[in-house]
């Protein structure tokens, strides 16, 4: 029993802690119930309360069972306190006053002063508790009797009775056979007992001896109906209804008249009561659990009443922040995707095989024509600038979106102009006379009026686009124009090699810097939200502790919906999300070996890495070339090939990413993410900045028609149709056909306008 009390001690402390946290009004029913249930758990004894309206003979019944006039009895309602009768070696009384002082007296005469109603039918306000110690063998087994004031007399007495019933293990509800189960008694049975988990109830009917025999039979039938309709939680085999004529039973006991005690029903009731108590004492915890659970349920609901609104508010704010961060995360992913694609494009462009394939012939010819600076600015620098701008724009998108670190522009340095030194010019050059040629500065100023200039240009094209059959041919065996062509090609090769090495190194470093730009920080929650979260955790901790104590001490199962309220929302601790990508520094696996002539005065063939696509292209060029004299080659390089369809798809994908990021920016600025004036201001800005969504129906219909779609087609169908038309009519596909290119430009203008109208009308 002592071990159980230690466990109950922790449970009672948890109850008190929750009540203090809830700041429950001390005059409220819940506060009084918590106090009663805590006192109940502290008491190791088994308490039997006698309960009923005034003047029903409650004190008389207890005196009859004790065998003497222990408690004051009178013809008028007299009990003015809750009197606890405990075991003692001799009959004595202890009165505890509200100021904490105690009064001890032998016998029970002092009860007439402190435990009965005064002349105004009022209980004494200075009495905290009344205890009577009695040498009775039944009490010696750890049993206590509780004599309560009568109900239906005064509100203060009713409140006291209601409070004391919660601490009783068995309730004996005394009934008057003359007015059986009044409305008030039924209400008390429901409100004070059943709804508070008190079901170990025994009905005892008094004053049946005062009725005629026929009336007694009628009352007994009604009593059986009452007993059967109430499912008492008593051990099997025991009735919950007994008859005891209290006053005759007391008289018989005082006189030692065993027959009178038997005929009054007292002996049968005492025997049943002692057996019931003996069984229930062995499962005392099972008796207490329903009462504790009933009060605990009210405390749990009171705590949930504090938890639920806070939890909902915090979860709503967390969801709002999560939605905002999800948009930022998606934007970061999209920007990183676009940035990576642009970096990959520039890295591919800077690959030496690509630079040689695209620029070597034109650059060598520009050197021969003393026009390298002009060619460099109009071709190579222009291409490099566009590719660099494509990369930087993504970082400015990130800065505009996340306001992290301001990006720096990517600037890859161009090597110095190639310097060439011509070999000594022979008197006779394979029969080619070129009297008007001369060296100018670091380049060559060729006057292309004669055959020598054409021969040099042809030699350059030949060396770049076709492998020589004789790899070990000595330069001295070559003609003068072949030597000049080789020098120009070598100079350009050195120039492109420097550009490739420096550019790739610069690009790698720039990628590392970009990781600090394409990132976003989770905004720390406000002090107000942090305080709300702390307050929520306080309530949830209290509820969780109560649940744990109920499970551990009494084995009470906590419903899942109550346990769910103790789940604390996780704090967002993720401070920032950098976007770091591994920088590729090795040659891609798709590269293969391609022989490209690089002349350094020795005519040695060098093998370098080049892409599989370039290798295939060079192979096709080699197979289509014919054996012709160098003098028959064209004096200018061929026009560039049209762009690949995949390049157009990449451009379209990049454009789509930009559109999606722009839409996300609009969402981030929407009123849903702000409140009050900030929300209104943002709404006005959004109204003024966003394009008009309502487009004339005729324009929409025309736009569908331009894209070859039925009116009402989905956004996915619109995008698919647009991609198809881009692949068909992109102006870059017709760079060598001016008329078709003009037609394509007009067509794409209409297609772009139609696409924009349909996308915006579906936003």
Q: What is the DSSP string of 458-526?
A: HHHHHHHHS--S-TT--GGGS-HHHHHHHHHHHHHHHHHHHHHHHHHHHHHHHHHHHTTTSEEEPPPPP
Q: Which tokens is 662 given?
A: 């722009």
What b/e readout covers 356-373, taking b as 16+ CB neighbours within 10 angstroms?
Answer: bbbbbbbbbbbbbbbebe
Contact 353, 596 (CB under 8 A): yes
Higher pLDDT, 482 or 246: 246
249: left (phi over 0), alpha (psi -120 to 50) or beta: alpha
Rounded to an integer, what distance in angstroms lies between the CA atom of residue 497 and that of residue 350?
9
Contact 550, 296 (CB under 8 A): yes
Residue 142 to residues 230, 234, 271: CA-CA distances in angstroms?
A: 28, 19, 17
Average the pLDDT over each of 110-119, 350-359, 400-409, 578-587 and give the range with the smallest value: 578-587
What average pLDDT does the chain have? 78
Under 8 Å CB-to-CB from 356, ≥6 apart: which residues? 464, 493, 496, 596, 608, 610
Rounded to an integer, what distance in angstroms lies between the CA atom of residue 111 and that of residue 489?
126
Q: pLDDT class for 232, splitting at 50, 70, 90?
A: confident
* Torsion, CA 227, CA 230, CA 233, CA 234, rounded to 10: 0
Strands (DSSP E) contained in 291-437 are none
User: What is the pLDDT at residue 621?
Assistant: 38
pLDDT tens digits, one per residue of 255-265: 989 898 899 99
Under 8 Å CB-to-CB from 30, ≥6 apart: which residues? 19, 24, 295, 298, 299, 302
Predicted confidence (pLDDT) at residue 462 exceeds the cutoff of 70: no
User: What is the pLDDT at residue 408?
Assistant: 87
Sole residue written with tokens 């003047």:
55
Helix/strand/coil for 123 = coil
Higher pLDDT, 61 or 366: 61
Q: Please name which of 707, 678, 691 lies closest in space to residue 762, comparing C-alpha atoms.
A: 691
107: left (phi over 0), alpha (psi -120 to 50) or beta: left
Rounded to an integer, what distance in angstroms lies between the CA atom of residue 490 and that of residue 353?
14
Q: Which tokens is 251 given?
A: 């008289």
Average confidence (pLDDT) over 674-702: 52
Average confidence (pLDDT) over 303-316: 92
pLDDT tens digits, one per residue of 151-198: 877 888 888 899 999 999 999 999 999 887 788 888 888 889 988 999
pLDDT tens digits, one per residue of 616-627: 444 443 444 333
Average the pLDDT over each of 330-334, 485-489, 510-514, 645-649 and give the range with the smallest value: 645-649
Rounded to an integer, what distance in angstroms lies between the CA atom of residue 389 and that of residue 300?
63
Top mean pLDDT of 86-100, 220-234, 623-637 is at 86-100
Rounded to an integer, what distance in angstroms lies between the CA atom of residue 218 and that of residue 230?
19
User: What is the pLDDT at residue 375?
Assistant: 92
What b/e readout covers 496-527, taking b as 16+ CB neighbours within 10 angstroms?
Answer: bbebbeebbebbeebbeebeebbbbebeebee
Contact 50, 145 (CB under 8 A): yes
Predicted confidence (pLDDT) at residue 347 exceeds the cutoff of 50: yes
Helix/strand/coil for 134 = strand
Predicted confidence (pLDDT) at residue 83 exceeds the cutoff of 50: yes
Domains and CATH numbers, the chain: 45-282 (3.40.50.300), 351-375+411-517+582-641 (no CATH), 646-761 (1.10.287.110)
Using DSSP bridges, classify how beta strands 83-87 and 102-106 pair: parallel, antiparallel or unpaired. unpaired
Contact 222, 216 (CB under 8 A): no
Q: pLDDT class for 199, splitting at 50, 70, 90?
A: very high
Under 8 Å CB-to-CB from 25, ≥6 apart: which residues? 31
Contact 300, 19 (CB under 8 A): no
Rounded to an integer, what distance in angstroms lies between the CA atom of residue 146 and that of residue 163?
12
* Torsion, CA 213, CA 215, CA 216, CA 220, rounded to 10: 150
pLDDT tens digits, one per residue of 550-608: 999 988 999 999 999 988 776 554 444 444 443 333 333 333 333 333 333 333 333 33
Rounded to an integer, what distance in angstroms lies between the CA atom of residue 390 and that of residue 387?
5
Average confidence (pLDDT) over 744-750: 83
**In this prediction, what percent of the chain has a pLDDT beyond 90?**
36
Average the pLDDT over each of 132-136, 148-152, 583-587 and give the range with the smallest value: 583-587
What is the torsional sign of CA 138, 140, 143, 145? positive
Q: What is the DSSP string of 391-418?
A: HHHHHHHHHHHH--SPPPPP-PPPPPPP
């Amino acid at each position: 029993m002592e071990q159980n009390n230690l466990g109950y001690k922790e449970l009672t402390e948890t109850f008190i802690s929750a009540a203090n946290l809830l700041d429950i009004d001390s005059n409220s029913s819940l506060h009084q119930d918590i106090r009663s249930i805590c006192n109940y758990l502290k008491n190791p004894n088994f308490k039997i309360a006698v309960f009923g309206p005034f003047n029903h003979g409650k004190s008389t019944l207890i005196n009859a069972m004790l065998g003497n006039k222990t408690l004051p009895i009178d013809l008028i309602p007299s009990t003015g306190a809750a009197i606890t009768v405990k075991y003692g070696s001799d009959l004595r009384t202890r009165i505890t006053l509200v100021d904490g002082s105690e009064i001890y007296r032998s016998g029970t005469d002092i009860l007439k002063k402190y435990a009965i109603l005064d002349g105004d039918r009022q209980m004494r306000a200075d009495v905290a508790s009344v205890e009577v110690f009695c040498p009775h063998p039944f009490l010696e087994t750890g049993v206590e009797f509780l004599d309560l004031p009568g109900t239906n007399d005064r509100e203060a007495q009713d409140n006291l009775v209601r409070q004391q019933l919660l601490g009783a293990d068995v309730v004996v509800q005394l009934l008057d056979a003359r007015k059986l189960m009044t409305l008030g008694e039924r209400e008390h049975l429901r409100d004070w007992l059943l709804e508070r988990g008190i079901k170990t109830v025994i009905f005892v009917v008094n004053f049946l001896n005062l009725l005629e025999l026929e009336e007694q039979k009628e009352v007994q039938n009604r009593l059986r109906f009452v007993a059967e309709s109430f499912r008492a939680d008593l051990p099997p085999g025991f009735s919950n209804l007994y008859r005891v004529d209290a006053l005759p039973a007391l008289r018989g006991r005082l006189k030692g008249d065993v027959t009178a005690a038997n005929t009054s029903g007292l002996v049968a009731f005492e025997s049943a009561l002692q057996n019931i108590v003996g069984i229930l004492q062995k499962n005392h915890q099972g008796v207490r659990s329903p009462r504790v659970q009933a009060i605990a349920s009210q405390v749990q609901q009171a705590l949930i009443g504090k938890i639920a609104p806070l939890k909902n508010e915090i979860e709503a704010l967390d969801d709002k922040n999560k939605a905002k961060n999800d948009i930022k995360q998606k934007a970061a992913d999209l920007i990183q995707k676009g940035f990576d694609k642009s970096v990959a494009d520039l890295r591919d462009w800077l690959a030496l095989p690509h630079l040689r394939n695209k620029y070597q012939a034109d650059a060598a010819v520009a050197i021969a024509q003393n026009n390298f600076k002009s060619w460099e600015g109009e071709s190579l620098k222009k291409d490099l600038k566009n590719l660099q701008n494509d990369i930087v724009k993504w970082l400015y998108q990130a800065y505009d979106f996340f306001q992290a670190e301001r990006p720096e522009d990517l600037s890859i340095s161009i090597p110095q102009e190639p310097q060439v030194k011509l070999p000594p010019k022979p008197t006779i050059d394979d029969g080619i006379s070129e009297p008007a040629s001369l060296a100018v500065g670091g380049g060559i100023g060729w006057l292309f009026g004669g055959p020598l200039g054409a021969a040099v240009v042809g030699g350059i094209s030949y060396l770049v686009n076709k492998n020589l059959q004789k790899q070990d041919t000595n330069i001295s065996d070559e003609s003068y124009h072949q030597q000049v062509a080789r020098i120009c090609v070598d100079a350009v090769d050195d120039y492109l090699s420097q550009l490739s090495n420096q550019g790739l190194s610069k690009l790698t470093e720039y990628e590392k810097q970009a990781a600090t730009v394409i990132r976003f920080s989770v905004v720390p929650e406000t002090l107000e939200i942090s305080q709300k979260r702390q307050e929520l955790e306080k309530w949830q901790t209290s509820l969780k502790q109560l649940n744990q104590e109920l499970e551990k001490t009494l084995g009470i199962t906590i419903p899942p919906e109550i346990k769910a309220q103790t789940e604390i929302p996780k704090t967002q601790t993720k401070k920032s999300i950098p976007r770091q990508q591994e920088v590729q520094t090795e040659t891609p696996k798709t590269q293969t070996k391609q022989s490209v002539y690089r002349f350094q005065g020795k005519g040695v063939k060098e093998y370098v890495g080049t892409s599989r696509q370039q290798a295939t292209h060079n192979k096709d060029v080699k197979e289509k070339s014919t054996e012709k004299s160098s003098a028959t080659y064209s004096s200018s390089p061929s026009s560039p090939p049209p762009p690949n369809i995949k390049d157009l798809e990449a451009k379209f994908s990049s454009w789509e990413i930009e559109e999606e990021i722009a839409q996300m920016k609009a969402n981030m600025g929407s009123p849903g993410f702000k409140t009050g004036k900030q929300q209104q201001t943002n709404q006005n800005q959004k109204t003024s900045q966003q394009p008009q969504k309502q487009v004339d129906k005729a324009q929409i219909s025309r736009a569908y028609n331009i894209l070859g779609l039925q009116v009402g087609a989905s956004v996915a169908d619109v995008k698919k149709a647009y991609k198809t038309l881009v692949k068909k009519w992109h102006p870059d596909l017709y760079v060598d056909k001016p008329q078709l290119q003009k037609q394509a430009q007009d067509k794409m203008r209409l297609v772009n306008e139609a696409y924009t109208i349909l996308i915006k009308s579906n936003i």
